[in-house]
Structure 1
């Protein structure tokens, strides 16, 4: 049994889990394993296969973890030879035969890059935020709670949550960690923090959301957009991953190229917006 760390840009995919007729990370991984001869064409999945989690459509990952029975030659570098640049394996570990990537994970950590400028943004309609209010909201959300009002799931809603935040320019970096997360919980937590920070939600509403009583439509919390969310870590006490130098180099290059492309698109859009702004009267 071998476990692999996968990093991926989730934006081109319809989530991690396989779905018919749409691209997913899982099916792309299985296609690569078939091309490498690790899976037969008729196989549904590799022997012993499990994944740490099922990220939603548009959500990315740094340390998604998959494990399955693999030949000794299947290194991250070898796996990358059949994967697109949007999905990179970069580390691996030998695991016990009974290892299960889902059930044996004791902690999952997500990071969200929340665009939240102090002064607001007139162009995009973003209101100004107060970091202290964001911090207060985050502190109230942390701890052991039943998050049934912040997920569509009916079970598995009681979680012990930890979190932290850090200001980076116009962004608030938010981290959330727990043993597991019901659907959409992280993105709804982000919405709560942002809404309290910009004043659109009173701080005492947080306690209402964490109460046993279900909230109605007026007070429901929508999930924040998925694209800024990354699964950054999955913790397994008994597993020690070793990075593959060649795979790491190719991974850094692939995501650096994607970053450069994004900066070029940003500069182009910013130039157009600025020129229109200068040429128009408000």
Structure 2
């Protein structure tokens, strides 16, 4: 069958015949399997790089996190260190997103809800320079931009603020710290600020704080004496003051229990002598069951070290645009919270129109724990008339017995 050279001149039947011919030809040809042409991700070879020991200073808002410290078991919320280690691993600055891989140390752990402004960790990270070249300040600006890389990966409520590329010899974020500086925001409403100031001043000095903390049997602590260098109420704004506290080290929940006690004094529920009595461990060897102050107002404000070299973002050349981008992120977060706070105030004005008419009986009331809600009571029971917990010796012994039983059960299961 003769056909025109161009398809344009073919008839309908001629086109159909040609399609059938091509289909028959394709069926006779062997099928070629498609291969995955996507390149495999090349594993990062850490052996090709040097490492260097650094200290990193950072700030975080604590209410979105399950505390600072990395946890190997699942937690309801991520921890701050989990986020930081994931960012370090994503950037290939450490091998794994866990503290055991990089000589990791932290200054002081904070609990769920607690924030920090100048927390410090020390660790070993990947470097572009040999140990010798790391000592040259002229190479600092050519080194991996640690601050900018981490801040580009981390959520906006965790911000790296400084790095020490050459910490002092034998530096350890925990043991090299000279003292910790805490601040606790306190709403003025309903408090006698003079009583609050006088109560805060009583904490200054060296005291046994066993009755101002939660006993942790797993730590087997036997010495509860801690030194407070500074303790006073300082102004913040029209609505708030702060407890400003500096000390060598702090026990579990120590600051929050200290705040709970001065709030009870500032409200007039307790006498100033309560603090002296709680320090008298001969008379009161264990803690009475009293309220724990709210976590959100507590800030680890600073971790103070001997003189050392810190570099902030503006110390690095050509950092203006990166800094501007990070500051814009932070400003956006600040404004977001400010707007939400204002909307909350508008809601309060709309909903609560007769707050001044709320009257408690002479016996009933609210215990201020720093959260705005407090703890209601029908009849206030003074702290020293409440039930007392176990002594730390009893808690430690019970924990040791439990640990022995667990080991024995493990041995028996193996046998």
TM-score class, shorter: 0.7 to 0.9
Coordinate RMSD, CA, aligned? 2.3
- The residue that corresponds to 2:299 in the other structure is 230
Q: Does 1:106 align with 2:178?
A: yes
Structure 2 counterpart of 1:182:
251
Choose from 6, 10, 16 the match for 2:68: 16
Cα pair distance change 1:281/1:144, threshold 3 Å: closer
Q: Deviations over 1:42-66 (max 9, x none)?
A: 7654422101011100011110001
Query: Once the 2 structures are TM-superposed, how far is the Cα of residue 140 of structure 1 from its aligned partner?
Result: 1.0
1:59 paired residue among 100, 103, 114: 114
> Computing the radius of gyration over CA atoms, which structure comes out larger, 1 or 2?
2
* Alignment CA distance shift 1:77-1:155 (3 Å): farther
Q: Which runs of 5+ in 1 are unaligned?
A: 118-127
Q: Confirm or deny that 1:147 pairs with 2:147.
A: no
In structure 1, distance between residues paired with 2:339 and 2:354: 23
Q: Using a 3 Å threshold, how does the CA distance of structure 1 residues 281 and 87 change in structure 2: closer, same or farther?
A: closer
State whether residues 30 and 45 of structure 1, in contact with CA within 8 Å, keep that contact through their aligned partners in structure 2.
Answer: no
TM-score by length of 1: 0.88
Work out the number of aligned pairs and report it: 271
Gaps of 5+ in 2: 1-52, 128-142, 216-220, 358-415
How far does residue 135 in structure 1 lie from its aligned partner after superposition? 0.9
Could you tell me how far apart the structure 1 residues matched to 2:193 and 2:233 are? Answer: 9
The verdict on how the C-alpha distance between 1:30 and 1:280 changes in structure 2, with shifts beyond 3 A counting, is closer
| Residue 124 (structure 1) aligns with | none
1:194 to 246, 263, 278: 263
For 2:202 and 2:355, locate their aligned partners in 1 and report how far apart those are by CA, in whole Å.
44
TM-score, normalised relative to structure 2? 0.61
Distance 1:166 1:273 in 2: 28
C-alpha separation in 2, matches of 1:248 and 1:233: 22
Larger strand share, 1 or 2:
1
Work out whether 1:133 is the aligned partner of 2:173.
no
Q: Which protein has greater RCO, CA pairs closer than 8 Å, 6+ apart?
A: 1
User: Would the aligned equivalents of 2:89 and 2:97 in 1 still touch at CA under 8 Å?
Assistant: no
Distance 1:230 1:253, change over 3 A: farther
Q: Which moved more, 1:67-76 or 1:6-15?
A: 67-76
* C-alpha distance in structure 2 between counterparts of 1:73 and 1:280, whole Å: 57
